[in-house]
Each structure stands twice: as C-alpha cells, then as structure tokens.
Structure 1
Amino acid sequence: MSRLPLLTPNSAPEASRPYLERAQAANGFLPNLVASLANAPTALETYLTVAEINGRSGLTLAERETVQITAAAIHGCGFCVAGHTAVALKKAQLDAPLVEAIRAQRTLTDTRLNAVAVFTRAVIATRGAVADEALSAFHAAGFSDANALEVVLGVSLATLCNFANNLAQNPLNPELAAYRWDAGQFAA
C-alpha cells in the first residue's frame, strides 16, 4: 500500500487531471508513480515534461534506459527498475541477459552500454564531479560532451521518480509484476 494517495483523473487536483489522462492513454494503465505524483501537480508536470525532454536527447533509447535502470538500482527503487526493464525489453529490444546485468550492476557485454552504465554510476557517486579519467573513458567509448550532460539529465529524471517512489512506497502495478526487482538481491 502506498504511503501517499494513489489518485485517479476523478480524484486528483484539477491541474493533475490532464497529465493523468495522458499517462493512462500512453501506458494502457495508470502507473502508481504517476498516480502518487498527482498529489503535487507541479511534481507530476515536471516528471512528465523532463521525461519528454529526455526522450529527445542524443542518447539512444537503449542508452537512456541503461541510465534509468542503473540509477534506479543505485537508488533502490524497485518500481522504476521494473518499469524501465519493461521498456528496455519491449521497446529498446535489449536481450534479457543484458538487461539483467544492468539491473545487477555488472559489467555489460555491450561496450557502449557498459560505458553508459559506468559513467552513470560515476555521476551519481560523485554528484557530477566525475574524475577526468571517467569523462575520458566515456569519450573514448564514442560519447560527446553533450552525451555526458544527457546522462546528467537522465540521472536528474531518475532521481525525481526514484525518490518519489521511495517516499510513497508505491506498490508495483500488476502490469509490471513480471519485471519485479528487489533491491536486496543486488549490491549496487
């Protein structure tokens, strides 16, 4: 049970209703993250707006989902790990063993995605003050300065939704049950 009310388009503040309707139409269900964020219309608007902007970044969908899963695992947000696992498998078409390695924070067989995961962990661990070597390694994998900032963008998006879910203690929607992740399974 969520510690915060899970709102619907009928019970949410007026300012949250269009965002809830949009999220429900896009997903085919109302994710509990969105339902809880509806308690603060500006938080819900920020989450959906930043998610849309993040989707336009120069990183591929697979790279963006690597950032999201990596950050969610570090932040202990099982809801977001599950949700982004679904996207990584269904939309980004990543194979299951690779996604499991991202979830477990292991070295990835895909060298580009591994560079994204390693850089994401460095950004989070250092609060952005990554060592010159970390940035150089990211560049050596073929990424630009813009991509480095886009990882920061992805981490900022992840931080908002991971922390909101951790605060609310949102239960996993049944639609995401197959992608369940338990933070206790892995050491970040």
Structure 2
Amino acid sequence: MSDYPVHTIESAPAQAKPVLEQLENLFGQIPNIAAKMATSPTLIAGFIGLFERVHASSLTEPQIQTLLLTNAVVNASEWPVAFHTALALKEGVAPADVDAIRRGALPDDAGLAALSALARTLIEKRGRLISSDQSRFLEAGFSIEQTLEVIAVVAASTITNYTSSVTRPRLEAQFEAFAWHAPAH
C-alpha cells in the first residue's frame, strides 16, 4: 500500500497539470509513475524538462531506450524496467538485446553495448569514470559530447527509478507482459 496518490489531471496540484496533460498527449494516457510523481510539482517539472532535452539529444531513440532500460535494471527498479522494455522493443531494439539488458548482460549490438556499459559504469562508480571507461565508449564511435548526454539520460532515469522505488506504482495492463522482478541480494 502506498501513501502516494495516483493523480489525474483534475486531482493534481495546479503546477503539475500541464505536465500530466503533456504526458497524456505523448503516451495516450498518464503513466502511473507520472501520476504519483505529480504529487510534487517540483519533481515532475524537473523530470519533464530533462526528459525533453534527453529526447532532443544526438542519441537515437533506440539508444536512449537502451540507456533507460539499463539504468532501470542497474537500479533494480521494476516499473521502469517493464515500461522501457516495451518502449525499447517499440523503437526497434532487438528482442535478444532487450533480454540481455534485463538479465544484466550487454547487448550483442556493439553500439548499444557501449552505451549500456557506460551507463552501468556511471551508476556503479557514481560517475567516477577512469580513462579506460571513457576510451571504450569513444572507440565505439561515440563523442565526448555524447558521454555527457549519457549523464543526462542517467539523471532523467534516476528520477523515475527512485520515484518508482519510493512510490511503487501499479504496472499498467499493457506492460504486464514485460514485468520484471529485481534479483534477490
């Protein structure tokens, strides 16, 4: 049971309503995680601002979804894993690559593997990359600018991952086929 309400556009604080409307237009519904996030207009406004910039970066949608899925798995955040599994598949990420990420492995696709490895390393090392971490990413054909864009994706993902862990949103029916449970530690 969660103390965080699942807001509608009507019930949300006034400053959160425009973001919920934007997300409803984008996804055809308000994702449950955003409905809970709307309890804090500060959080949801910060999230949507970063979300918009991430999706306007030089990274492609399959690359962004690879990063978001990797981040959710590394952070053991169940709702985002299911959500980003669905979006990654929709964006054309190979099912085998999606499955690999969900298992904590790297995708077969070399570019996606470089992105996934960098995201995992950023999270696990709390941003303290060593030169070889960055070199592998650059040698895979990415730029130093894209290294920083990956940080933006990790930041956006951290917002949803932590919100999910704290508020425990119910998984929507269309994502149930992609349900994922964090391994026991």
TM-score bracket, shorter-length normalisation: over 0.9
| Deviation at residue 180 of structure 1 after TM alignment | 1.0
Give structure 1 regions of 4+ aligned residues with deviation exceeding 6 angstroms. Answer: none
Counterpart-to-counterpart distance in 2, 1:21 and 1:84:
21
Q: Does residue 71 in structure 1 map to residue 66 in structure 2?
A: no
Match of 1:84 in 2: 84
Query: Per-residue displacement from partner, 1:127-165 (whole Å, max 9, x unpaired)?
Result: 111111111111110111101101111100011110011
Counterpart-to-counterpart distance in 2, 1:143 and 1:94:
18
| Deviation at residue 119 of structure 1 after TM alignment | 0.8
Match of 1:166 in 2: 165
Contact 2:77 2:165 in 1 (8 A): yes
* Unmatched 5+ stretches in structure 1: none
Q: Which amino acid aligns with 1:182?
A: H
| Deviation at residue 3 of structure 1 after TM alignment | 3.5
Counterpart-to-counterpart distance in 1, 2:80 and 2:36:
14
Query: Per-residue displacement from partner, 1:84-124 (whole Å, max 9, x unpaired)?
Result: 1111111x211211111111121321011101111111111
Counterpart-to-counterpart distance in 2, 1:11 and 1:127:
37
Contact 1:65 1:88 in 2 (8 A): yes
1:98-113 to 2 correspondences below 5 Å? 98-113=97-112
Counterpart-to-counterpart distance in 2, 1:114 and 1:105:
11
| Deviation at residue 14 of structure 1 after TM alignment | 1.0
| Deviation at residue 40 of structure 1 after TM alignment | 0.5
Matched residue SS, 1:5: coil
Match of 1:3 in 2: 3
Match of 2:128 in 1: 129
Contact 1:3 1:169 in 2 (8 A): no
Counterpart-to-counterpart distance in 1, 2:106 and 2:9:
42
Match of 1:26 in 2: 26
Counterpart-to-counterpart distance in 1, 2:130 and 2:94:
31
Contact 1:72 1:162 in 2 (8 A): yes
Identity among equivalent pairs (%) = 32
Contact 1:71 1:120 in 2 (8 A): yes
Counterpart-to-counterpart distance in 1, 2:26 and 2:119:
27
Q: Which amino acid aligns with 1:176?
A: F
Q: Which amino acid aligns with 2:154?
A: V
Number of equivalent positions: 185
**Of 95-104 and 130-139, the range deviating more from structure 2:** 95-104
